[in-house]
Structure 1
Amino acid sequence: MTSADRSASGPHETRQVRGASLGVIAPEVARQWHPSRNGDLTADSVAAGSSRKVWWLGPCGHEWQAVVHTRRNGCGCPYCGNRKVGYGNDLVTQFPEVARDWHPTRNTGLQPEQTAPKSNRKVWWLGLCGHEWQAVVANRTARRSGCPYCANQKVGYGNDLATRHPELAAQWHPTRNADLMPHQIPYGARINAWWRCASGHEWRAMVFKRSAGSSCDRCKLIGVSEVEVRAFAELRHVLGGHVKPLRRDARLPMPRWQHLRVDMILGDVAVEYDGSHWHKDKAARDRDKTDHLQRAGYKVIRVREHPLALIGPYDTRAPRAARPFQVAAAVLQKMIDEDFLPAATARDAAATYIAGGRLVARDEADRAVNALRVREHGSRSLAALFPQIAEQWHPHLNGELSPKQVTARSGKEVWWLCAAGHAWRARVDQRVGKGTGCGFCSGRYVTGSTSLAALRPDLAAQWHPTLNGALLPEHVTPHTRRAVWWLCPMGHAAEDAVSNRTKGMVCEHCPNSRRRRGPSGM
């Protein structure tokens, strides 16, 4: 008998059980009593509420020590529950793809073979991306979380907005984003920020949507890049007397295609402007389009924005967020280099333009751009189909955009103003399709009289004073599902949804809690 086995019976063993025995109260637990490692002590000779630590042998074949009353309360095998390491339940065996990221030097001797998948220990990780970060082991295994920098959850390693998209950082509103700056947020952040374009228009948009290509609604063109329109105006001005035909947004009939849309046709040269965002995963499709154009007799010049790779013999590069002059000059230089301008006068005109280094067709480009601005939708507009909703269109906060310029099915998020004077943002299609109204009047949004602090001061008194950051009981309604931190009168800190507390749920750590706690919560 080992010392551990002797301690299970030991001098404290008594045949007089105080209270009902474990064998009587919990026979299913008693069946897991270890047959050999508890000396003469049996499940019938200990009380079900005993604090004695004894040996157990589960149906799984695992052996472990545990206090009797914890077993009676539902605590099972710690190895099967991944609360203790052994019997092949370690991180390397169970989650090899997570263990692969274990940092080789920063965990002070701790190894993944010694760690349970549900461990709450915070350790260091080193991803295949080369980024280092700290995270709780259980979070990585339960949520399948990875590198927070690659996921745009933390700022670092050059993933900030200013580094990844300097052209967007230049539109960051200088005064309306408090102290937040572009270098402090990931380029994929789900933060609603204020922007100001070169034309002076101001609007709010999520950072990740701007990185995905959204732009100023009042400057936005219909189905085309403004850079492309302005670059074509420059090319037509330079080549107008030398090359024919000159067409933008040309649609060419092709075998196997209904038609093939081409950005620009300059005589027998087809020009495609490939913006880095819209063409980053479309190299195969772009090559296929080039092949079709070449078989139709066109020489194809693709202006490929950085960091897109060149894919055709006549492709040329342009910087990210290229300007109209840069695109036009790149096309003309390629036409000179490849002898696509046989007439000396055309070559001279192109060379003169490149040497000049400035735009020459601003007025023509402005007219073309203005013709493509957002138009009114007539009978399909929100104003025509749902006048009662259009009446709540905010008169000031949507700039020059009006209910006549959006369709009833638009996914655009705009400002509204109800009869009670509440202003809020909502998508047009959600207001039409779901019939949603003012969130303040319906109690979905917080006001001074509808907040948790106003309606449930008893719960507001248990709001954790430090773990919720700047969020206060005055900022949420009693029915929000948002999870926040609480501090009960017994001093227990716990995270729970506000709506759960409103429904009567209490601290799970307190006696007589209305919550049921499973084995992993013991």
Structure 2
Amino acid sequence: MHLIIQRRKGVGGELIARLTSEYNFASYHPNLLDEWDYEKNLKPPSHYTPSSGQSVWWICKVCQHNWQAKIDNRIKPRGCPNCAGKKPHSDGHNSLATLKPKLVLDWYDNRSPEEFQIGSHYRARWKCHKCEHVWRSPIAKRAQLDRACLSCTGQQAHSSGRDSVAVTHPELVKEWNDTKDPMKFLAGSHTRISWKCSTCSHEWLQSIGVRTRPTGCPYCSGPGGTIPRVVHSDGHNSMRNTNDENARLMTREFHPTLNGKFTPDNLTPGTSKKLWWKCSQDCDYIAGSKCENVWRNAGSHRWNRGQACPVHYGGGLHSDGRNSLQKLLPELIQEWDFEKNENLTPDSVTISSGKYAYWICNSCGNKWQAIIASRSKGHGCSACKKKAQRELFEIVKQLFPNSECQFDYNHPDMRFSETNARMELDIWIPEFSIAFEYQGFQHYESVPFWGGDEAFEKRRMRDLEKQEACSKNGICLLQVDNSWDRGANSIKHLLCEHGFEI
């Protein structure tokens, strides 16, 4: 190749290429010469450089289509536009005008229908020959999918606006708050438009079709026409801006990450949506810390009914399990019957739960069912308690062989003031008005296993009430504590202390 390159001074370093006899289109691209139109092109292919921008004529060797294209476009390479489906054949046999002559009746574009194939995506301008509606649509949609006039088929408002929402529903135009032209939309359109209430100035988005039904401003038309269903566009009735104690608490406890797109700013406090909350109150179980229980509840339940954290006001299980039976009374877990309780686990219930659970006594192996709350309050194995009572009962019968002795006697005239339940006497000798009570150590001190301080105080008050009732009814109540040596002599001594000679 003989390419001579010279640098011309004063032209900013521009490179000028001088042609030699070998540097031309014919020499570099002989494969394209059989599509060169020698009749229409006045100069031969050897006259042009390989990258020339000159537009010349070509004849497709496959379909004989005749077209113009720049030389540098052909070497990229780009072939026949007719074969590629981009332009109709030069003889017009596959043009829109030839294949779809009826569509030409609606043609209203500056370009000719003879320039396009029926599969073209060009958005041509059309004018219906029946109703004179003017619109734009891709040629392929009309030619291949047989799409008719959009106005005649009810898909678009007439270009004159005669059937638009502005004409059919002029009252809606008063609240139209959008840049879109109401003259271009039908009353049933699904297009979402911005509206502004003429009564309360609330702004909202809604489809035209929905507005043409009897639905007005969503703020003004709340349930019963009194309670707004949505947040006003100025935000004055949002959860955050509602001047109400419950609403302020809800805003503080609105979970910052679990509610997705919802915030205290785009919801009313009375929303029916179930939302996530995070308790802001002090923890009842860990001193100096916040509760931070996470739970789900409808906004309306919190606002209208005042429902707050279920841990504080419903005895619910904390989301981190801090108030579970397993955490607060781990000693009870030793008697938990995991096999019979199946899916009920100590970490899934609270100490105040009203559910029944199965238990296995560590001392005697007795298996029984009891409410979890009752066990938390100190009620233990009934078999163990009855065993000690039975031993005491047998000794009392030996000491009073000629008298009637009753076991677990419910006195008809003595009742607890709180529950009105009959008071039970472990052993009752009606002839002498003597009663025996076997008292475990939980009756004398606070024990976590038996419910702690609260349960101990309740037991103490019940024991005191029973003592006063016995005294009032002339009954000598003798208390035998759990340190009893299981012998008859200690019982004789107890009777002698109270004036009974055996």
Settle same-fold status: TM greater than 0.5. Answer: no
Q: What TM-score, normalized by structure 1, do the two folds share?
A: 0.38
Q: Which has the higher contact order (CA 8 A, sep 6+)?
A: 1
Q: What TM-score, normalized by structure 2, do the two folds share?
A: 0.39
